[in-house]
Amino acid sequence: MRKHILFIVALLSVTMIWAQDRNQGRIKERSPIGDNESKEPRRSLRQSKEKKEKPLITAYKIITIDNDTTYVDTTLTIQKDYKFNYLRRDDFELIPIHNVGQTYNSLAKREERNHLLPLFGARARHFNFMEADDIKYYQVATPFTELYFKTTFEQGQQLDAFFTVNTSPRLNLTIAYKGVRSLGKYQHALTSTGNFRAIASYITKNDRYKIRTHFVSQDLLNEENGGLSTEGLNQYLATGNFVGEGDEFADRGSVSVNFEDAENILLGKRFYLNHEFDILKKTDSSSTSLSIGHIMNLTDKRFKFEQTAIAPENLLGQSYVAANLSDNVALEDFNNQVFLGFKNKWLGDLRISGGSSNYNYGYNSILNQADESGNITSITNRIKGDIYTVGGTYKNNYKGFEVFADGQTIVSGDFTGNYFNAGAGYELNDNYGLWAKISSESVAPNYNFLLYQSDYVNYNWQNDFSNTETQKIQVAVKAKKIATIEASYATINNYTYFTKNADAEITPVQATNDIKLLKVKLTQGLEYWKLGLDNTVMYQDAQGGEQVYNVPQIVTRNSLYYQDHWFKKALFLQTGVTLKYFTSYKADAYDPVLSEFYVQNTEEIGGFPQFDIFFNAKVRQTRIYFKYENIGEAFSQNNQFSAPGYATRDAVLRFGVVWNFFL
């Protein structure tokens, strides 16, 4: 991690000096880019002595892997406040565990991207794991830098920095690092994570050949304390002052936890290559193009759980070893895809693809397990093989009307699976639109449901589960001045989950009943004078999933704020209060050995409001954030939970900044 940080700092310093030297005498003075005072890109810009105009904000492009393009945005909005967190995205459907960088419990079950092979386990560690679809590509007129900083709990800090430059109009290079270290308020709760990214894109002079590639290295470590012990729960739940003399337990580090010698870490490396060549290029005289391309994704993941001494037997069960437990599982996935693309102004975009994946998941030894009768059960060490796939995508736009479809299926291999999505939408203008989508997916449960080995006796199994099948209908209606409504109805067959059996042992289970889930989400933003009110409300109803698919029925977040320009518009101020509330429900519990959540039907959480007071400001391209989180706890005893046994966050004042540089 330190080597990555030093490398980035050195590269940023050298590149900034180079860029400043290159631009010296060419662009002497610049107005703020993306200033909040105007919603439209500036058409009249201050010029240098050489009369050269400053680039428009639209010259700083952010491009996804699906070629969706947005622009660098330095405005300050309430949505930016929602995304100013460890994940750098809106966490409305999540509940953070007490320390920064730890996992999140879910108010709505996480929906994974479409995939054909099982996913690697330890999903509780994956909230901050950057997959190939999460990587952004850039095209910028001048070197561009963004620095994100935010305080953590006790010792530590968060940093997310990236630098991107076009060495020519055709070649872009980007380097980025996201690092977090936080000691936390409770015993043995340290988090230390790092996400390093190196990104490049290139287009030839004739625009026929395009390439996008990246390398990512990630390490996400958490010390695990198993949650509050029985004694710690009594201390935490005590009414009034904490139990003990005076404020003995006002220091959360004095509250007892289950163990203080365990940690787990998720490691990952990926090399990704996406390149395409136009056989027939679209020109002014031709409305058709034909291209051939290749996508390669080489991913290695590893998950480790280590503990010095075995935990009390009533927590994790018996162990094969007396000390120094170490579980280690790895996945190697090598995916190749070739495609043929056809684009026509009237007929739309069509892509047909074929691919292969070589997968190797597992452990270094076979486990022979004896039951009480002396019968030997052998648990294999590997799931490996190859699959071959075919698929396609289609999309077309005409006068605001859009149709789209994509799908893929396994045609050969030890796994079976497929997915299909199709939909249509109509956008009248920027304020009004309507979309509808249907989707179907059949995929094997994650690898850790199929095979797992551990030094803990209860955490060893091998299963042959059926595919989980999901069918879904989604509708979205946007009326910007009124509200945006998103609704979905899904049927889930063979839902697979972890739970504890009658002997209190963690076990993977596949549901026999179909689960029918209705989910409706309303988002509304109102502004009057210098006041704003932003509301997000979600309703969920799971039929057939009682005792299995537990989610709160209602989740709401409401922000009332004041915003205005101060000091002759030199500063843009935004301040207010945010309320978040969800109805009580039997939330999933967290297991540190698997780094997974499991179903429990004993303890409820929720049913209490949480208030955050925020004070945000923007000066040129710098956004400054102050937030007093969970301020209600400062006036009363906090005895709420984010997951059974894991306390929610106490009241805390936090500071952060996002700073952009346009060189």
- 3-class SS string, 18-77: HHHHHHCCCCCCCCCCCCCCCCCCCCCCCECCCCCECCCHHHCEEECCCCCEEECCCCCC
Encode pLDDT of 513-571 as tens digits: 999 999 999 999 999 999 999 999 999 999 988 889 999 999 999 999 999 999 999 99
- Which tops the pLDDT comparison, 510 or 248? 510
Question: What pLDDT is stored for residue 13 in this prediction?
Answer: 42
Question: What pLDDT is stored for residue 377 in this prediction?
Answer: 82
Beta strands 468-479 and 262-280 are unpaired
Least confident among 90-99, 279-288, 481-490, 556-565 = 279-288
Contact 459, 503 (CB under 8 A): no
Helix (H) / strand (E) containing 237: helix 230-237
Question: What pLDDT is stored for residue 635 in this prediction?
Answer: 65
Does 228 score more than 90 pLDDT? yes
Does 492 score more than 60 pLDDT? yes
Least confident among 3-7, 570-574, 584-588, 617-621 = 3-7
Encode pLDDT of 162-219 as tens digits: 999 999 999 999 999 999 999 999 999 999 999 999 999 999 999 999 999 999 999 9
Length of the chain, in residues? 663
Q: How many Å apart are CA 659 and CA 274, to the nearest integer?
A: 31
Q: In the chain, where are the structural domains located? A: 2-225+260-662
**Using 50, 70 and 90 to split pLDDT, how confident is the model at 406?**
very high
Q: Which fold has domain 2-225+260-662?
A: Maltoporin; Chain A (2.40.170)
Q: How many Å apart are CA 214 and CA 138, to the nearest integer?
A: 12
Contact 292, 354 (CB under 8 A): no
Question: What pLDDT is stored for residue 121 in this prediction?
Answer: 95
- Amino acid code (one letter) for 66: D
